Chain A
Amino acid sequence: MSAQLQITEVSKSFGGVQAVGRVSLEVRRGEILSVIGPNGAGKTTLLNMISGFYHPDSGRITLDATDVTQSAPSRVAEMGVARTFQNIALFKGMTVLDNLMLGRHVHMRAGVLSSFIYWGFAQKEEVVHRRRVEDIIDFLKIQDLRRRPTGSLAYGLQKRVELGRALALDPKILLLDEPMGGCNHEEKEDMARFVLDVNQEWGTTIILIEHDMGVVMDISDRVAVLDMGQKIAEGTPDEVRADTRVIKAYLGEVKAGRH
């Protein structure tokens, strides 16, 4: 398998705090890679650098051999990288359908004028995109929520809609920042199922940040472990589980009764 996303020795500091220090990571096409680590380990910062929200102080990020280290988020999105956020970022007053249609925005070509006239090009385009959005609605089984404002939905469902919004981009790489955080057992199971299905059905590469070890170990092809901004281990779930440094840095804390 070839590397789709190559992260080479990236570092990022905020003031005097180094959030990520010289982390390298290779993401292979079609895999589910989980990034785990204690709070403040730099996981979200790493994700933000991939999606272009932050630019690394040093190091390089290449996507399909194109350097995207300094690219704007919109450019990274156009290249097929979609993400969800730890604290849901949906338009709460808009319906599920509108949120998802908005996710198609990077693929829409109609300009202000033709959109204003609507009939003709803009209408045709809308139909095409609506079909794709309906596929996603069907895929995520949220047919009953189409016309509901997202703000009125239960938390677990909002998470699902957010995944849908990311999927609407037709991403090649999907970045998921704690998609199961704050969900109950059933919602977690559903979400894990969706993540697996997205990966299998569309071959989408998935980078997942998640705290639920059970889920991570079950669905990941590979796991990378961050601690204090450093990558301390990388490998299959079994390898990582057996790694003494990981046990000490991360799982050791769990044993000490953090949960």
Chain B
Amino acid sequence: MAHAASEVTTLPRLLQQNVRERGVRPAIREKDRGIWQTHTWREYHDHVRVFSLGLAALGFRRGEKLSVIGDNRPRLYWAQLAAQALGGIAVPVYQDSIARELQYVWSHAEASIIVAEDQEQVDKIISLRDRLPGLRHVIYDDARGLVKYRFDWLKSFEEVEELGRKHEAQHPGAFEAEVEQGQPDDVAMICYTSGTTGNPKGAMLTHANVVATARTFMAAEDVRATDEWLCYLPMAWVGDSLYSLVLSLAAGFCCNCPESPETVQRDLRELGPTTVLAPPRIWENMLTSVQVRAGDATPLKRWVFARFRRTAEEAEILRSDGKPVPFGLRLMCALGEFFVYGPVRDQLGLRRARWAYTGGAPLGPDTFRFFRSIGVNLKQVYGSTESSALISIQPDAEANPTSAGRPCPGIEVKIADRGEVLIRSRGIFKGYYKAEEATREVVDDEGWFHTGDAGFLDPRGHLVIIDRAKDVGAMVDGTPFAPQFIENKLKFSPYIREAVAFGNEQPLVAAMIAIDLNTVGNWAERRGIPYTSYMDLSQKPEVRELIREEIAKVNATLPDSTRIRRFLLLTKDLEADDAEMTRTRKVRRRFVAEKYASVIDAFYSGGEEVELSTLITYEDGRQATIQSRVRIADVEAGALSHA
């Protein structure tokens, strides 16, 4: 690296640096009309410059907020940088949010300009416009369906760029002067965290925060300017901002925007990115698709796949235990690489990936082992919005499914009372926007950020996360109770999509379970069990029996007092639209406990059945109530007396 790692700067200045150092290299690609369209760093910079001046012409001033909403599109990234170049703040929001959530975030952030991807998003803004007094302009990327919209506050991206060109003719050098004024300690972005309680909070990250974090990342991993990265994670998630904007600018690598959310899998394969970050759900889906396709193959191919998969896993288990792999096994693995592992990685688009990350939630050990065994360098990474998305990474040789990795260089980790993980680094955020009280609750006087996660450092120095600290309680007999720890074990079962465990200040552990419609549906079809809907399927006695066995398997790995004694199968999946989960799919525990109070009651009063009246919210915001009687089952007979 030509520049000192400690150099503090702003994102727009990093952009200028990329133009100087690698102006003709690809900076961002977008798949459009089925073809990857490339923009070089010079073009990237030109778009940011003229759009930025267009914003200036529209009266966008230092400290104002510009929000972006939509799927990953180059223009939405450019818009964020353009705002930052003027000393403004970018506020990316979740594209699938419903109107009520958007209204809260936009009015809280006082967004004065929103850049929207398409008509769908513009329509949402129109429906909220009366309630957003601070909003002055809306700019859209894709004009499709918007030709008949005539509002003086609605403009296309091209129109604003045109304004920018005119502005530049009148004020030459204006862009460079604005960038020059920017300070590293200016707030670069506000990331709204969906929070498991109450309204979302806006975490303010400064240029210094995110640039320092990117440098930390580059010190921990071998990031290269020739890397290729697929931008498909939600833009509002801090991980995407860090990778697709900050890291790309800091390292100079190329970002690639998929054609549409539905084509991500195919685009991944075409592109073969050199590094991949995905939440556990995506890794599990990939494994399922491999298994399904292997199952459909001819008997010979099926046998070859099964044979070499076993070989790979045997070798992987030896490797992860630090034992030598015998010569015969190594030879088989080499054959497997040729016949199975290489082609499978190629099909998944992971052939060129030097490393792959999973984070956000624990990944099942079986899934983890599968990917590592076929030669994908899958590792766990841990971070949070408030820490600019990065705290720890597993080094290549120390990957395993249980830890969250080794804290990155320059990041201090301390375990406080009750096991809460505390972090101190240059990436720790400036505070929550307009919520000093909340900020003081999580950042103490010495600058330690309280993650709210309970965990410990293992003998190798790896951080291990158990649960949210505030969720860790105790059962009546004093046994510590960590609900998420149990839920994660349940969710490792392919048949269980979501689980909520209860047991704090209770005599026994009980769980509400949402089955996975795909896998359980598939299982039912293979057995000739007819069903009509999720609700119907979830209440089949055979399904209850299936889940009971899955729970029994989990119980075998738990200490006796925290074994799950009773369970109930929910008639619908837990949904973010129903406020039961956050947009990043974390259970909002307190809300769920209130909503399902009757179920908890029945768990501990020995009830056999419970009346469930669930309010569900459709994607368009309409609501409906579903009434049903649901059976509560014991995992083993006589659970209550047992306790």
How long is the Cα–Cα vector from A146 to B270 in the complex, in angstroms? 15
- B145 CB contact (under 8 Å) in A131, A138, A200: A200
Closest residue to A141 on the B side, CB-wise?
Answer: B260
A197 within 8 A of B: yes
Contact of A134 with B260 in the complex, beta carbons under 8 Å: no
User: Beta-carbon contacts of B238-266 to A below 8 Å, as 1s and 0s?
Assistant: 00000000000000000000011011001
Q: A134-B34, A137-B34 are in contact. Are A144 and B266 (CB under 8 A)?
A: yes
User: Beta-carbon contacts of A120-141 to B below 8 Å, as 1s and 0s?
Assistant: 0000000000010011011101
How long is the Cα–Cα vector from A138 to B259 in the complex, in angstroms? 9
How long is the Cα–Cα vector from A109 to B563 in the complex, in angstroms? 73
Contact of A144 with B144 in the complex, beta carbons under 8 Å: no
Contact of A131 with B33 in the complex, beta carbons under 8 Å: yes
> In the assembled complex, how far is the CB of residue A197 from the closest CB belonging to chain B, in whole angstroms?
5
A143 within 8 A of B: yes
For chain A residues 36-53, which have a beta carbon within 8 Å of chain B? none
Q: A143-B259, A143-B260, A144-B260 are in contact. Are A197 and B145 (CB under 8 A)?
A: yes
Closest residue to B142 on the A side, CB-wise?
Answer: A138
B1 within 8 A of A: no
For chain B residues 16-50, which have a beta carbon within 8 Å of chain A? 32-34
Contact of A143 with B147 in the complex, beta carbons under 8 Å: no
Which residues of B have CB within 8 Å of A197?
144-145
For chain A residues 201-217, which have a beta carbon within 8 Å of chain B? 201
Q: A143-B260, A144-B262 are in contact. Are A138 and B33 (CB under 8 A)?
A: yes
User: Beta-carbon contacts of A167-209 to B below 8 Å, as 1s and 0s?
Assistant: 0000000000000000000000000010011001100000000
Provide a sorted-by-A list of 14 A–B residue pairs whose CB atoms are within 8 angstroms: A134-B34, A138-B32, A138-B33, A139-B144, A143-B260, A143-B263, A144-B259, A144-B260, A146-B34, A193-B145, A200-B145, A200-B147, A200-B148, A201-B144
Residues of A within 8 A of B (CB): 131, 134-135, 137-139, 141, 143-144, 146, 193, 196-197, 200-201
Which residues of A have CB within 8 Å of B33?
131, 134-135, 137-138
User: Beta-carbon contacts of B439-468 to A below 8 Å, as 1s and 0s?
Assistant: 000000000000000000000000000000
Contact of B262 with A143 in the complex, beta carbons under 8 Å: yes
- A201 CB contact (under 8 Å) in B145, B262, B263: B145
How long is the Cα–Cα vector from A86 to B442 in the complex, in angstroms? 62
User: How many Cβ-Cβ contacts under 8 Å join chain A to chain B?
Assistant: 31
For chain B residues 388-438, which have a beta carbon within 8 Å of chain A? none
How long is the Cα–Cα vector from A131 to B32 in the complex, in angstroms? 11
Residues of B within 8 A of A (CB): 32-34, 144-145, 147-148, 259-260, 262-263, 266
Closest residue to A186 on the B side, CB-wise?
Answer: B619
- A144 CB contact (under 8 Å) in B32, B147, B263: B263
Q: Which 3 A-B pairs have the closest CB atoms?
A: A144-B262, A134-B33, A144-B263
> In the assembled complex, how far is the CB of residue B251 from the closest CB belonging to chain A, in whole angstroms?
29
Which residues of B have CB within 8 Å of A200?
145, 147-148
Which residues of B have CB within 8 Å of A141?
260
Contact of A201 with B147 in the complex, beta carbons under 8 Å: yes
Which residues of A have CB within 8 Å of B144?
139, 197, 201
How long is the Cα–Cα vector from A134 to B32 in the complex, in angstroms? 9
Closest residue to A146 on the B side, CB-wise?
Answer: B34
Closest residue to B258 on the A side, CB-wise?
Answer: A143
How long is the Cα–Cα vector from A138 to B118 in the complex, in angstroms? 13
Closest residue to A131 on the B side, CB-wise?
Answer: B33
Which residues of A have CB within 8 Å of B259?
143-144
Which residues of A have CB within 8 Å of B148?
200
Which residues of B have CB within 8 Å of A143?
34, 259-260, 262-263
How long is the Cα–Cα vector from A141 to B147 in the complex, in angstroms? 18
How long is the Cα–Cα vector from A144 to B263 in the complex, in angstroms? 5
Which residues of B have CB within 8 Å of A146?
34
> In the assembled complex, how far is the CB of residue B372 from the closest CB belonging to chain A, in whole angstroms?
29
> In the assembled complex, how far is the CB of residue A184 from the closest CB belonging to chain B, in whole angstroms?
13
Closest residue to A196 on the B side, CB-wise?
Answer: B145
Name the residue among B34, B259, B266 with the largest chain A CB count within 10 angstroms. Answer: B34
Which residues of B have CB within 8 Å of A196?
145
> In the assembled complex, how far is the CB of residue B220 from the closest CB belonging to chain A, in whole angstroms?
35
Name the residue among A135, A144, A201 with the largest chain B CB count within 10 angstroms. Answer: A144
How long is the Cα–Cα vector from A197 to B119 in the complex, in angstroms? 11
How long is the Cα–Cα vector from A160 to B34 in the complex, in angstroms? 18
Closest residue to B145 on the A side, CB-wise?
Answer: A197
> In the assembled complex, how far is the CB of residue B456 from the closest CB belonging to chain A, in whole angstroms?
44
How long is the Cα–Cα vector from A200 to B147 in the complex, in angstroms? 7
Which residues of B have CB within 8 Å of A131?
33
6 further contact pairs, Cβ within 8 A, besides A138-B32, A143-B34, A201-B147: A131-B33, A134-B33, A134-B34, A137-B33, A144-B260, A200-B148
